A and B are shown apart, each in its own frame.
Chain A
Amino acid sequence: SQKIEQNSEALNIQEGKTATLTCNYTNYSPAYLQWYRQDPGRGPVFLLLIRENEKEKRKERLKVTFDTTLKQSLFHITASQPADSATYLCALATTGFQKLVFGTGTRLLVSP
């Protein structure tokens, strides 16, 4: 069956460290993968897109990698800040209409 898995346990790190979040998938051939941030009581907000033929994308302190052999994407936040505390969702899109299929999200807590 098709699955997208993100670590359901919260990730606790200290300010200034790099946070690494994982998204694994099975039985999908994604055209691309997106990462979203969601704050409590708010809707998800788009952060980054990475396509199937790209290995890595960067945006300011954010970096995403995509390994279609391992069927995994890693999301990194360098020099993390308490304001980065939120839930981060990965989402796959298949070809065609590109409906998104979301993971359950990983909560990140950055302590001062």
Chain B
Amino acid sequence: DVKVTQSSRYLVKRTGEKVFLECVQDMDHENMFWYRQDPGLGLRLIYFSYDVKMKEKGDIPEGYSVSREKKERFSLILESASTNQTSMYLCASRPSDREGQPQHFGDGTRLSIL
């Protein structure tokens, strides 16, 4: 079974802090994704990565950056946390070998910015 592990289930940070969210997958998947999920808005794509050291902006990249130095790890960085970044953050991975492969999600990090 594919396992996607997010480093924290709950995190509380202060406005202006630099925040790191970590995600590790154990299935050698090429593609990895970061989403945030908010009530009434669903999952929105922040950034994704085709492969190691590759990254692309999603639909809402402002205020975020990412890092993918190793294939199994995809990090989301909040450069200077703000209260409107309080949300549930979900990481996902997917193989790239053929069309239609499902995304495998972690259980999320619920981040509160005070």
Q: Do A and B come from one complex?
A: yes
Chain A residues with Cβ below 8 Å from B103 are: 44, 46, 100
Within 8 A of B (CB), among A36-55: 41-46, 49, 51
- Residues B102 and A46 in contact, CB atoms below 8 Å apart: yes
Chain A 86-112 per-residue mask, 1 if CB under 8 angstroms from chain B, else 0: 000100010001111111110000000
With A8-B40, A102-B43, A104-B42 as given contacts, are A43 and B102 in contact (CB-CB < 8 Å)?
no
Within 8 A of A (CB), among B3-23: 4
B31 nearest CB across to chain A (Å):
8
Contact of B90 among A8, A32, A43, A93 (CB under 8 A): A43
Q: Kindly count the residue-residue contacts between A and B in the assembled complex, taking CB atoms under 8 Å apart.
A: 51
The number of chain A residues touching the other chain, given as a range, is 20 to 34
Chain A 38-80 per-residue mask, 1 if CB under 8 angstroms from chain B, else 0: 0001111110010100000000000000000000000000000
Contact of A43 among B48, B50, B56, B108 (CB under 8 A): B108
Total interface residues on B, using CB and 8 Å?
A: 23
- Residues A105 and B104 in contact, CB atoms below 8 Å apart: no
Asked if A10 CB lies within 8 Å of chain B CBs, one says no
Tell me which of B42, B44, B105 has the highest count of chain A C-beta atoms within 10 A of its own C-beta.
B42
Chain B 20-46 per-residue mask, 1 if CB under 8 angstroms from chain A, else 0: 000000000000000100001111110
Sample 19 A-B pairs with CB under 8 A, ordered by A number. A31-B100, A34-B100, A42-B107, A43-B4, A43-B108, A44-B90, A44-B103, A44-B105, A46-B104, A97-B50, A97-B56, A98-B99, A98-B100, A99-B48, A100-B103, A101-B45, A102-B42, A104-B41, A104-B42
